[in-house]
Amino acid sequence: MLIELPDVRLALEKDQLVPFFQPVVELRTGRLRGFEVLARWHHPEHGLTLPSNFIALAEANGLIGELTHQIFRKAFLAAHLLPDDLTLAVNVSPIQMQDENLPAQILRDTEETRFPLSRLVVEITESALHRDLKQAQTVAADLKTMGCRLALDDFGTGYSSLRHLQSMHFDEIKIDQSFVREMTTDRNCRKIVAAIVGLGQSLGLETVAEGVETEEQADMLIWLGCELAQGWRYGKAEAAEAIPRTITAPPITPLPGLTTPGNDWASSSLEALPTLRLAQLQAVYDGAPVGLCFLDRNFRYVNLNRRLAEMNGIDLKSHLGRTVREMFPEWFLLSEPYLRRALQGEAISGVEVHIPNLMPGEINRELIASYQPAWDEADEVIGISVSLLDVTEHRRVDEARHRGATSQAPSFEVNPEVPWVMDSEGNDLQVSSRWVQTTPLGKDRTRNLHWLEALNTLDLEPTIRAMKHALQTGKPIDVEYRIEGVEGGWRWMRSRGTARFADNGEITRWYGSVEDINDRKLQEQAANEASSQSATEDHETLAKGILLGQTLQSLSEVVGEDESAAQEIA
């Protein structure tokens, strides 16, 4: 569509420009907050024409003041259709922010139409701040003094700085639709949107997302903490006649059951400013009786609490930015398989960690570890939350009770994950002390290959065969077997592990864990026995039926023979 300058002049002379109104809503509730006023041209030949076809011409030829005057005046006159709590947002061009008469023009338009300035939001694009910043600041200050709210439009597409945000005293930041459109599929766009929302919250500004079209976009914005939105999901820009219908339409709310900022717990989390959130989280961290930390995808310490620093014997700041491998190379070898599983989205809890004494006079330490993946708003794992509980003292008390009360048979107790380390030849180098407590072998006899002595003789050969195959091929270990308990009897266990290879492809270590599967195996056996019993009963019933049939057949034959004999006698 080719629009020329005479066409624009004629449109202004014939009053062909009209305001259209696009709803702005609260994301959390769907409640209508106001409308953005957008210019449209009822072109006699081309019909309804968008501003991208004529605004630039008006700006370049000194017509933008008259154009906005016509649009503003008509929009303010239509405001009688709005409830008193709804706002109108209008756009001013970068050129107008250099015009010291702009505030006076807006004041005249609002006074003549009796539209309260307190309900007016003036949107300023980032490019307006790069011509004459001082003049733009003066105009913005006058608008604020009049009672208008200020919004920075299309944030992220220009070059505004934090200094601009601070000096212009904005009330809102509007996120450009180009970022919103791609945020559900483009991680970079999503991070930009999250950063803008966080910046707005830090500065006490409301954030408005433009171009929201889908439910997925709206849900993601809610979780990011964005307050307001506009776009086709909530309504297209329409003429003033459509305002009553928009006002009475039912609100478009988030999915049922979606917990959103401001509901239930949000006032102490998502709605808090980032600095407050950090203080809250740090207070929770430091008050916890367990060691806590957050690792990024490269296993670097992003945050941790004082308890974990005390457990590690290293000051808190020395952890930050360093990897677990750098800080604790030996412990990393044990924990790496679980960390990598957590990066794949698996939540792992109850992992037992045995740390042998490293210094004279120290005691072996027993820890319970949990690894929880942390997800971002697009369900991608961004790091791992690790918790460590020192149970060394509890274990010592348990062992003392066990030694002093042999008459009382303790119940078998193994956490779901009991880690082990094995060399390339199959010798156990390290195993949790809890494994030692489950068998009568003792600590020394669990090292190397002696742990096999605890196995049921029926399981020994298949276990050795499976281990030998894994050691030769490097394929993962996954084997089930029964072990003898301290008080006698057998329990089913499952051992799984993976190999660590050197640069030359040779196996250097195996890392794995043992879990108790006895209850599951007993259930399977009971089910098999029930099925077998049912099959036996069915077989017996069938055999009885066959026998009964054969008996009846024999009787029938006998009766038949008797009848034949009787007829011959007769």
The DSSP call for residue 475 is P
Distance CA 62, CA 18 (A): 19
Provide the sign of the torsion angle of the four alpha carbons 530, 535, 536, 538, taken in this order.
positive
Q: What does the block give as tokens for 201?
A: 């919250």
87-92 and 32-43: which strand pairing? parallel
Coil, strand, or helix at residue 330? helix
**Residue among 99, 500, 552, 115 at smallest CA distance from 336:** 500
172-175 and 120-125: which strand pairing? unpaired
Distance CA 546, CA 554 (A): 12
Radius of gyration for the chain, computed over Cα atoms and rounded to the nearest angstrom: 38
Provide the sign of the torsion angle of the four alpha carbons 154, 160, 162, 168, taken in this order.
negative
CA atoms within 13 A on the CB side of 205: 26
Residues in the chain: 570
Q: 210 an active-site residue?
A: yes
**Segment 491-499 long-range contacts (CB within 8 Å, at least 24 positions apart):** 491/412, 491/438, 491/516, 491/518, 492/516, 492/517, 492/518, 492/520, 492/521, 492/522, 493/517, 493/518, 495/420, 497/420, 497/422, 497/470, 498/337, 499/470, 499/474
The DSSP call for residue 130 is S
Distance CA 290, CA 363 (A): 19
Q: Which of 172, 206, 210, 352 is flagged as catalytic?
A: 210
Q: Are 375 and 366 in contact (CB under 8 A)?
A: no
Give the 3-state secondary structure percentages of the chain, helix then strand then coil, rounded to 5.
45, 25, 30
HEC secondary structure over 64-101? HHHHHHHHHHHHHHHHHHCCCCCEEEEEECCCHHHCCC
Distance CA 405, CA 124 (A): 79
Distance CA 182, CA 180 (A): 6
**What b/e readout covers 33-43, taking b as 16+ CB neighbours within 10 angstroms?**
bbbbbbbbbeb
Cross-strand pairs, 42? 48
Dihedral (Cα; 224, 228, 229, 230), 10-degree rounding:
-170
Distance CA 293, CA 385 (A): 6
Q: Which are the catalytic amino acids?
A: 210
